[in-house]
Amino acid sequence: MPRVNRTAVLSLLIASSSAFLLFQLYYYRKYVSKLPGPHILNRKGQGLFSLSVLQQTVKKFLALAQRFGLPLFLADTAALTLLSHDALRQRDRLVREPHCSFLCTGRPITSFALHANLWKYEPSFLLAAEQKGFELLELRGEDPRLASLDTLSGQEIPLHFLFRLHGYIIHVVFLYERSGNYLWSGALRLRADADRGFAPFKLLDYGRHAGAYDRPELVLTVLDGLDVRIPRNVSHFLSEQRHARFLECRYRDARNFLQMYPDDVSPVAVEFRRKVKSLLHLTSRTLAALNIPFWLSSGTCLGWFRQCSVISYSRDVDIGIFISDFSSDIISAFRDAGLSLKHKFGKVEDSLELSFLSDDVKLDVFFFYEDGDVVWNGGTQAKSGRKFKYVFPPFSLCWAELLELKVRVPCETLDYVTANYGATWNVPVRSWDWKTSPSNVQENGVWPPAEWAELIQVY
């Protein structure tokens, strides 16, 4: 076998490396250096962006926004993440262009949110943006605030503005006030004739689905030499953004249901709905103070999903809480809010259930346990000590609106409701036995009689 000439191989490697270096220098001088300022690769490694161009694009857009009074704030997740103290300390260790430390995130997009109710739509703003060189893609959708059981669709409103300059995108998300005292953003849906190459839509922070947000408190600050409004509590806003998905009530299906099964409009039913609304709002405030998320469960969830309201003959309110979010302060917090404890079944480790009473309406709090590929909550029969288990497929949580309140529901609502009520969930059942009627109920043993005093408490 012939011996390898190491000198020849080394010479070949040096020649190849030199050729590649010369090519890089040629490419830089020929193309990249024509862009002003230093350059960065975006995080996907797709193309070069001039830091100066990025900064000047944002600066030009913010000047236009200020001129036309757009109530904007920075909503870009990458830029806001850089505002955390840990990220700041990390960035101090890196060699970066000092004049663009926050807005130049390495992404070809910067996102802003616009408080739509504080701005009158100005066509002259769009004209001015065009004169500054911006290309615009305006995306509209139906106004859900005008939708109801009587009116299934409203007029179209702007939902997203995408401004493009030098291949860089400024994304403006419209936030509208809803009756539940929260802000709503619509999903970004391209029409058939839309330019799908206008922007890297998969990289957008907003628009994959509708979203719901608390109204953020804003502060004016200086980022990279530019005056920018940002949420005062950046961490809270970023957490909201990750869990903002919103599900609209299915008004068309609800109207079809109510045409077949007219709602009870008696004074008793109307009064019950009023009490439920009051109780749900009180529950939301009480659990929010403890930082405990909850969602509509059982019949209350079914009422929202099926008829955009509460089931007047259910006579109670049902909510779910993951046992991992349990706090020993729940009972005292509800008592302080004016609710009386009606019963306490089970224990934190197994089948915990609480029930409270407010103005003759019962609030049932079911705690859910994650067990492998299922989620379940427990039930207890007080007179016999028998235990029951209600099994659901795994689910995530989305926002929705019920009785002018922003509340959570399972995102996979149909699966959740079907598990609990079977395939005929769309047919009202007035006679309901919680031990036998649910489709997902299972026998789960019996509490030891010696533990009844602790585990079966009725007040």
**CATH number of the domain that residue 450 is part of:** 3.30.460
Within 13 Å, how many C-alpha atoms sit on residue 428's CB side?
A: 17
211 phi/psi in degrees, rounded to 5: -135, 160
Is 30 part of any domain? Answer: no
Give the dihedral sign, CA 332/215/246/425: positive
CA separation for the pair 159, 226 (Å, rounded):
26
Is residue 131 assigned to a domain?
A: yes
CB distance 333 to 365 below 8 Å: no
Domain boundary among 242, 267, 296: 242
Regarding whether 285 and 213 lie in a shared domain, the answer is no
Same domain, 395 and 432: yes
Considering the domain architecture, whether residues 84 and 231 belong to the same structural domain is answered as yes
Alpha-carbon dihedral sign for residues 402, 180, 279, 294? positive
CB atoms within 10 A of CB 216: 21
Across 351-375, b (16+ Cβ under 10 Å) vs e yields bbbbbbbbeebbbbbbbbbeeeeeb
pLDDT of residue 358: 94
What is the pLDDT, as a whole number, of residue 83?
A: 82
The whole domain housing 59 covers: 36-242
What distances in angstroms separate CA 234 from CA 114, 239, 248, 398, one per listed residue?
Answer: 17, 9, 27, 21
Residue 8 lies in a domain: no
Pair (175, 95) in one structural domain? yes
**Do residues 284 and 424 both lie within one domain?**
yes
The residue out of 212, 242, 272 marking a domain boundary is: 242
Domains identified in the chain, total number:
2
Considering the domain boundaries, does residue 20 fall inside one? no
Q: What are the φ and ψ backbone dihedral angles of 174, each rounded to 5 degrees?
A: -85, 130
Strand ranges, E, within 348-402: 350-358, 361-371, 374-380, 386-392, 397-401
Please tell me whether residues 149 and 287 are part of one structural domain.
no
pLDDT reported for residue 87? 53
Cα gap 409→303, rounded to integer Å: 11
From first to last of its 459 residues, the chain has per-residue pLDDT tens of 455 566 665 566 566 666 655 554 444 444 434 444 443 334 333 344 555 677 888 999 999 999 999 999 999 999 999 887 555 555 444 444 446 777 877 788 999 999 999 988 888 999 999 999 999 999 999 998 887 777 756 689 999 999 999 889 999 999 999 988 999 999 999 988 888 999 999 999 999 999 999 999 999 998 888 899 999 999 999 999 999 999 999 999 999 999 999 999 999 999 999 999 999 999 999 999 999 999 999 999 999 999 999 999 988 999 999 999 999 999 999 999 999 999 999 999 999 999 999 989 999 999 999 999 999 999 999 999 999 999 999 999 999 999 999 999 999 999 999 999 999 999 999 899 999 999 999 999 999 999 999 999 999
Q: Are 295 and 375 in contact (CB under 8 A)?
A: no
Token pair 């019920």: residue: 402
Same domain, 74 and 219: yes
Provide the 10 A C-beta neighbour count for residue 258. Answer: 15
What is the separation of C-alpha 201 from the centre of its chain, rounded to a whole number of angstroms?
18
Domain assignment of residue 22, yes or no: no
Residues 166 and 103 in one domain: yes
Q: Which two tokens stand for residue 309?
A: 């309201």
On whether residue 14 sits in a domain, the answer given is no
Answer yes or no: is 393 within a domain: yes
- 234 and 104 co-located in one domain: yes
Show which of 207, 224, 242 is a domain's final residue: 242
289 and 269 fall within a common domain = yes
Do residues 139 and 98 share a domain?
yes
Contacts of 265 (CB under 8 A, 6+ apart): none
Angle between helices 251-260 and 298-307 (to 10 degrees): 100
Residue 245: exposure state from Cβ atoms within 10 A (0-12, 13-18, ≥19) = middle
Q: Is residue 426 part of a domain?
A: yes
Task: Return d(Cα 19, Cα 22) in angstroms, integer.
Answer: 5
Q: Are residues 375 and 285 in the same domain?
A: yes
Centroid of chain to Cα 255: 27
Q: What is the per-residue burial (b if ≥16 Cβ within 10 Å, else e) of 106-134?
A: ebbbbbbbbbbeebeeeeebbeebeeeeb
Question: How far is it, in rounded angstroms, from Cα 235 to Cα 66?
Answer: 26
